[in-house]
Amino acid sequence: MQKNRKEKLVLPFNELGIKDVPLVGGKNASLGEMYRYVTGRGVRVPNGYAVTAYAYHYFLREAGIKRAIRDTLKDLDTHNIRNLQERGKKVRQIIMRAKFPQQLEEEIIAAYKQLSKSYGVAATDVAVRSSATAEDLPDASFAGQQETYLNITNPQGLLDACKKCMASLFTDRAISYREDKHFDHFKIGLSIGVQKMVRSDKAVSGVMFTLDTESGFRDVVLINASYGLGENIVKGVVTPDESMVFKPTLKKFATDKRINPIIVRILGTKEMRMVYGKGRGATTKNIPVPQKERNRFALKPGEVIQLAEWGVEIEKHYKRPMDIEWAKDGVDGKLYIVQARPETIHAQKHAQILEEYILEKRSAVLTRGSAVGSKIGSGKVRIIKDVSKLDTFQKGEVLVSEMTDPDWEPAMKIASGIVTNSGGRTCHAAIVSREMGIPCVVGTGNADAVLRNGQEVTVSCAEGDEGYVYAGVLPFTLRKTTLTNLPRPKKTKIMMNIGSPDLAFAASFIPNDGVGLAREELIITNAIKAHPLALLNYKKLPPKIKKEIDRVSPGYVNKEQFFKEKLSQGIAQIAAAFYPKDVILRLIDFRTNEFAGLIGGSTYEPEERNPMIGWRGASRYYDPVFRPAFEMELKAIYAARKDMGLNNLKLMVPFCRTIAEGEKVLTIMAEHGFVGRKFKKHLPKGTTVPRDAEEVDIYVMCEIPSNVVLAHKFAEIFDGFSIGSNDLTQLTLGVDRDSEIVSHVYDERNLAVKTLIATVIDTAHKHKTKIGICGQAPSDFPDFAEFLILAGIDSISLNPDTVIRTTERLAKMDA
């Protein structure tokens, strides 16, 4: 290192570190830090060098243009988009017309030749990226504020790209962003990173976050991938593939390659591939991706795991969640990390404050897509189809567009909501709206067609992974809860009921003792959509039903594999969210009318006059007609518990009317690798149990009076009870809970119901068997929850929105 390092015009990556942000900006400092320290851990980072921020200030001084820039910005008004556009354009022209000092040109070219030599060529291809000295800080991402120029292959092209980068410090969006963050335009310098190109135009690229971007859940790595250059993902031009890797099992994978740490894989549409254009002055262009390629994942599972391992190493080095760009070279077939910055959204949130946006009323759904964040906003629609029309946008309107890029930020920051046709959870619109705290729904596919200018709408991202645009301005409330020192019951566990994997990560932040009821039904309804027997018998189905199944299972020739993967991933998401706490998974409990509503369902389901007490629960599982579907379900659960390493999963059999039914179901489960701890002593002779079968807790739902009357017998073969107060009330009082006519009779607090519950709790304890409740009653009625505490129940499982207030109340009783 030289003494006058602060006045160097060029610095190679191997001389840079994270402390050099004032010299080379966050992006280049991070690249230098990774190149020096993280490559030693196996992370592959392309080499390069930085043109320093000092070089930028040196250029402004030697060219004599600083005063002209200052005069141009004197009457700047970033809330007047036309004013902003005029000032920005003039400053950029001033910079582009100025001449680089000779010494600066010489040093940039000398460093380029040295880099080319290190790769064994006369003129290597490089990427030229801007790196502002205030960017990528913990409280400001500066995402996409300045420009990037790719595939530069000669010295003159490199010099031109460097000057364009310097001019991009004064793009409209960069000027506006600095004003909002209160950064002085002249105290910020611009450094330029010159880095060996990764030819992802011939392969794949994407982004990776070392946490869940929506909830802030830190035990996963989220990876998005699409074909070609990465700009399409950032700008939201394509919907990328999405993979989620669970860090605790990724750690196990290091010593046991049989474990699959990938808990979620969602196939994106990946409609376009960005490649380099041809001819003089050409930059990039988009070409369509053939349907065959769209229908397969851009990354192999091994590559997903490799990236996740690198993400964990980078996070470990920086000691904080990271936002990382990666690329695969289509020439050498290798993966590379090309950029890393601190994740800036969840890092600023107060972990002990729980914010819940609650929609009080709903109306017609106008369009839907992927929810970004968890907020709600409303206002009048303003459809903008071109960036040149941004000056028509008014504060408080809902911005609707095909997609956004950094040029749109002056309008985005004053929007009450953002809705786009295209894009995924890591596109530009998603990243910026998260940082700005604006509700955003991306990937609707039709927003600018179904919405109209001036129409009042409500944008809701508070209902899980799916975001909705409702007609009209709807009322909502914001509830804030301080979680510090929340009192908790000492004897009774407070668990949660979780049905949607999309809500699991966010729900895990609520103080809890695990999941007392994890449901499969929403996974099947939302992710699979087809009847399991229709999937098993796909080849025999009529063409019309086949077409419907193909529509919901793109990329899957084997429909049984589709069912197994989607169900196991949904289950895994819930289990991972609460790992290593217990997650009690109830087997499928659809009734015949609900099964019939799935694609192809009417072919396999009988019509019943009262499905509520018909062919459901245990009676299905051993029936020869449905048993193949049950066995397919067990394979999916096995994949989540055994293959993915989520051994916190426990299982639960619903609607088991008799001991004989229980024995039949438990025997089938044992044959598929799930041996109940108590039932292993009762296994029928000749039962074939797989060599790698595991002992597992298998509970039974207590929701039929026979379960109470014969509780001592059920306790001999099952490892625990979970009271389903909904059905137990229905069958005790003889009330169809779907009937409005007799609904006034239906009451879980009826003495007959409470007597049965108190009785079964007592019986369970006498037989040293765990017992909890997962029915709706304790969520709805605090006095019922108090009754359960007095009866000595082991655990109470509540809906997430009632956990905090019920916990506080019960803590006073169970002290």
End-to-end CA distance of the chain: 64
Cis amide bond preceding 543, omega within 30: no
**Residues ≥6 apart with Cβ < 8 Å to 385:** 401, 402, 448
Encoded tokens for 313: 């190493």
Q: How many residues does the chain have?
A: 815
Of 487, 498, 494, which Cα lies nearest the Cα of 512?
A: 494
Per annotation, catalytic residue among 346, 428, 531, 672 = 428
Encoded tokens for 669: 């489960």
Q: What is the Cα 275 distance to its own chain's centre?
A: 27
Q: Are 334 and 278 in contact (CB under 8 A)?
A: no
φ, ψ dihedrals at 538, nearest 5°: -50, -45
Q: Give alpha helix (H) positions in 424-539.
A: 428-436, 447-450, 501-507, 521-523, 532-536
Distance CA(113)–CA(717), nearest Å, equals 75
Encoded tokens for 431: 């990243």
Encoded tokens for 72: 């141009």
Active site residue 712: no
Burial grade of 39 (CB within 10 A; 0-12, 13-18, 19 or more): middle
Distance CA(164)–CA(100), nearest Å, equals 12
Question: How large is the greatest C-alpha to C-alpha distance in the chain, in angstroms?
Answer: 94
Q: With b meaning 16 or more CB within 10 Å and e meaning fewer, what string describes 270-284?
A: bbbbbbbeeeeeeeb
Distance CA(476)–CA(377), nearest Å, equals 9
Active site residue 182: no
The DSSP element (H or E) to which 27 belongs, if any, is helix 21-33
Distance CA(287)–CA(239), nearest Å, equals 15
Angle between helices 102-118 and 53-63 (to 10 degrees): 150
Of 486, 495, 521, 580, which Cα lies nearest the Cα of 770?
A: 495
Q: Are 634 and 628 in contact (CB under 8 A)?
A: no
Distance CA(415)–CA(395), nearest Å, equals 6
**Residues ≥6 apart with Cβ < 8 Å to 739:** none
Distance CA(416)–CA(377), nearest Å, equals 5
Angstrom CA distances, 10 to 168, 312, 779, stand at 19, 31, 64
Encoded tokens for 647: 């051994």
Which stretches does DSSP call E strand in 240-395?
241-246, 262-266, 272-276, 284-288, 322-328, 335-342, 353-359, 365-372, 376-383
Residues involved in catalysis: 428, 774
